[in-house]
Amino acid sequence: MANSTDGCEISISKWSVEGGGARRATTWAPRAWNERIYEYFKKNGYQQCPYEHALYTKKSENDMMVVALYVDDLIFTGSNTKLIEEFKEVIKKEFEMTDLGLMKYFLGLEVKQSEEGIFISQERYALDILKKFKMEDCNPISIPMEPGTKLSKFDGGERADAGRYRSLVGSLRYLTSTRPDLMLSVGITSRFMEDPSYTHWKALKRILRYVRGTLSLGIFYSKSDNYRLVDYSDSDWCGDVDDRKSTSGYVFLLGNSAFTWLSKKQLVVTLSTCEAEYLGLIRDEGTVIRVDNKSAIELEKNPVNHGRSKHIDVRFQFIREQVKEGKVELHVES
């Protein structure tokens, strides 16, 4: 384990169940193994994440342990070295485990740990994608999608290989695990997996050219004195030329580091840029939301405007109440 600083353990370790009779997890049915490990964590005071069932957390006063389970591998970290050592001793008594040390590579994720923080990237995985689709020697470009690009299901062009297209989209989607900059372009191209044309295929290959020039990019998680949750949100207006639905995007930061991001086409057709921005707002207690549309913020603050905005579903007015109660703050970004 790396040395802790100010009582905060920032390293990530990996353990794996090793061979040894009936205790070897890989010899059990997956359901039985998950039930077994679930009972162990439950008995020892861990809480299972309701949204990601393979993630367990345990709080002790001001400290926390986080354990992620993947088949028979355990990845864990914590805020206190003592908690981590206790976890290692206890779990060794329950299972036959191998300590693989600080995590460096896992499921395509490369992890570099230092006193300054943790850097996570997928450079090796990105290179594998380029080689698989014979683009390792392509000319790199600086942006993944040309500004103003409009792709349509009905472009009338020659059809591309749908299987190969879906394979590349799937590979790029996994690459967005550490690359928020790819979310929009990959999300748009993924809309045409059923029946892609060569125009769509060219858009995908352009993303690969961008990846080729940005292989070293990733996410750096550093220490911070301010761990306030901040959201940046934006939407286009009627950006999809086929159904005229808008695309919303957001990124959440805790301190200086991004930890979740998304680009998604909205479920309803919006009639103004104000609606497109307003429907794209993400709500969460104590969150600062930064948007670039003043009309969307005015709609939150001024009830007089609502008479002209009844076509927006009532459930979205909940956001205004959160602003009023001080749980959400809206800021205009130029």
Asked if residue 174 and residue 239 are part of one domain, the reply reads no
Instruction: Classify residue 211: in a domain, yes or no.
Output: yes
Of the three residues 103, 132, 150, the one that is the final residue of a domain is 103
pLDDT at res. 116? 84
What is the torsion angle, in degrees rounded to the nearest 10, for the CA atoms of residue 248, residue 251, residue 252 and residue 253?
Answer: -160
**CATH code of the domain containing 281:** 3.30.420.10
Asked if residue 271 and residue 178 are part of one domain, the reply reads no
What is the torsion angle, in degrees rounded to the nearest 10, for the CA atoms of residue 171, residue 51, residue 287 and residue 59?
Answer: -120
Of the three residues 166, 198, 218, the one that is the final residue of a domain is 218
Asked if residue 209 and residue 235 are part of one domain, the reply reads no
pLDDT at res. 281? 47
Give the CA distances from residue 91 to residues 18, 72, 86, 125, in Å, rounded to whole numbers and listed in that order.
13, 13, 9, 32
Asked if residue 241 and residue 197 are part of one domain, the reply reads no
The pLDDT tens digits along the chain (334 residues) read 333 333 334 456 666 655 433 334 444 577 787 888 888 888 888 899 888 888 999 887 788 889 988 877 888 888 888 888 888 888 888 887 777 888 888 888 999 988 888 899 999 999 999 999 999 999 999 999 988 888 888 888 899 999 999 999 999 999 999 999 999 999 999 999 999 999 999 999 999 999 999 999 999 988 777 778 888 888 887 777 777 788 888 888 887 888 888 888 876 655 555 554 544 444 444 566 666 666 665 655 555 445 445 445 444 555 666 666 666 666 666 5
As for how many domains the chain has, the answer is: 3
pLDDT at res. 277? 56
pLDDT at res. 30? 73
Asked if residue 37 and residue 98 are part of one domain, the reply reads yes
| Phi, psi angles (nearest 5°) of residue 143 | -135, 145
**Residue 288 in contact with residue 281, Cβ under 8 Å?**
no
Asked if residue 154 and residue 85 are part of one domain, the reply reads no
pLDDT at res. 292? 63
d(CA 287, CA 257): 15
Expressed as residue numbers, the domain containing 163 is 123-218
Whole-prediction pTM: 0.70
Instruction: Classify residue 51: in a domain, yes or no.
Output: yes
Asked if residue 245 and residue 201 are part of one domain, the reply reads no
pLDDT at res. 323? 64
What is the torsion angle, in degrees rounded to the nearest 10, for the CA atoms of residue 291, residue 293, residue 296 and residue 301?
Answer: 80
Of the three residues 218, 248, 278, the one that is the final residue of a domain is 218
Asked if residue 285 and residue 252 are part of one domain, the reply reads yes
Instruction: Classify residue 108: in a domain, yes or no.
Output: no
pLDDT at res. 64? 86
Instruction: Classify residue 118: in a domain, yes or no.
Output: no
pLDDT at res. 65? 87
